[in-house]
Amino acid sequence: MIKYPQLKPLVDDWINQFLENKELINSAFNQYGSPINIHFLEPFIQNYHEYLEVLQNHKLDHLVFYARKANKSKCFVKSAATQQFGVDTASFNELNQSLEIGVPSDRLVVTAAVKTEELIQLALEHHVLIIVDNQDELAHIEMLCLKGGHTAQLGVRISGFDWNGQKLYSRFGFDITSALAVVKEIHSNKCFDFKGFHFHLNGYSIDQRVQAILQTLDLSELLAQDGIETEFIDIGGGLLMNYLEDEEEWIAFDDHLKKSVLHKAEPITFMNNGLGYESIDEKLHGCLKTYPYFNRNPKSVFLDGILSQMVKGEQKVSDLLRNQNIQLRMEPGRSLLDQCGITLARVISRKEDSNGDLLVGLEMNRTQLCSSSADFLLDPIYLPNSEGRKPRETSVYFTGAYCLEQDIILKRKITLSVYPEIGDMVCFVNTAGYMMHFYESEAHLFNLSTNLVASKDHTGDFTLEED
């Protein structure tokens, strides 16, 4: 049998402990159907404190916002409120729920790509900071301020930073070359109260983030000469996390995928999908269009790498922020949710397709394990629903419930230790960040997945409750 590359995920202890309770899992399936999302809050708090330690070590005034868009469950907002950090909201419902849960207005921010009148009005009524993206938004906010007698707390999103002589493109925000004029316009308007700058960079370059901070600090210095204070710089999210145990597995997978695309090795993805690689004239082109699942410098190491970089002589980035008395803000989503959730689904069918591949149908669809990445590159944990089954290595593709040829849950071929049977369970690990909800749909009138929160009772046993 062909050995397909493995990508073993990092698995928190609580996940292994939870999966031992087959009775609890089966009871949840019987009550809620499949799939089920299980959330656990302890890693969420630990991840926040990991960032907090770096910010405190650099002696920075700071505010960390949880990017609510990464997961729609309310439990994380409640935890953020209890732990006294902030919540980044991107819709009326996200903001309204956060206010109802009790997150104070001064620890909320609105960064929505499209800001409806309903959302702006709610933010104005509760004095919530709005990150403004364009002139039309400014005009809309001004109209509502004049109508209701409000003063809008505004941050200005900027983009177009210089990087090696080229602009870093983003469709969001004001170009940095026009930002000075925009802030002066805001400052001169009695309806507005300028608070600071916000940016978010695609990709995962520490150096690009350093340059964006430096260019924003230069902008703040120019404003200070006109008596306009910049209270904060918000560097957004996109702080790397690490999903995988072994870098060698990651390298081996990438190498095998490239060879497969060039037809020099057995395909390891459905229909030999290159996940961004392609063969043109028998030469490899493109790049892997997935999240970089293995990282040596995740979370706090990534943040410390930004703040510790030496610039302008012998000063760190954090020194410059302190010297200008500017608060550093950030909005991690995925990395705050590291190890906070799993997705469980049941096997409902098996069939061999015309290519001779075994397709294992799950009671779920691809939108319930889906982000903007080309594939979710972690081995799932397979849970046979009966004891004593003989080992029998079997390579499969997991397929979903939508009437689409492309409803393949994982594009990568997965090797199981047993032959799959109906009623077996599959656990997809570390799915809380962007994987569970970001693209989830109700096509075919299927129900959305149920979100459950796991906690431990006084005996250490797990209990479940609806989010």
pLDDT in tens, 71-95: 999 999 999 999 999 999 999 999 9
Whole-number pLDDT of residue 160: 97
Query: At residue 395, what are phi and psi to the nearest 5 degrees?
Result: -95, 135
Amino acid in position 25:
I
Torsion of CA 225, 230, 236, 239, to 10 degrees: 80
pLDDT band at 314 (very low <50, low <70, confident <90, very high): confident
Quote the pLDDT of residue 218.
Answer: 97
* The pLDDT of residue 45 is above 70: yes
* pLDDT the model gives residue 4: 81
CB atoms within 10 A of CB 152: 24
Q: Is the pLDDT of residue 298 over 70?
A: yes
| Cα–Cα distances in angstroms (integers) from residue 360 to residues 4, 347, 407, in the given order | 17, 7, 12
Tokens of 314: 């012998």
Q: Which residues contact 386 (CB under 8 A, 6 or more apart)?
A: 421, 423
Give one DSSP letter per residue of 217-242, joined into a string: HHHHHHHHHTT----EEE--S-----
301, 240, 295: which is closest to 51 by C-alpha? 301
Of the chain, the percentage scoring pLDDT greater than 70 comes to 99
Tell me: pLDDT of 201 over 90: yes
Q: What is the DSSP string of 78-100?
A: HHHHHHT-EEEE-SHHHHHHHHH
Distance CA 421, CA 163 (A): 53
User: Which residue's structure tokens are 């043109």?
Assistant: 280
Q: What is the pLDDT of residue 190?
A: 97
Of 42, 76, 110, the closest CA to residue 436 belongs to 76
The two tokens of residue 250 are 């990651």
What is the three-class DSSP state of 338?
Answer: coil
For the stretch 335-366, pLDDT in tens is: 999 999 999 999 999 999 999 999 999 999 99
Q: What are phi and psi of 394, to 5 degrees?
A: -140, 125
Average pLDDT, the chain: 96
Give the pTM: 0.96
For residue 386, pLDDT beyond 90: no
Work out the percent of the chain whose per-residue pLDDT is above 90: 93
pLDDT at 1 over 90: no
What single-letter DSSP state applies at residue 142? H
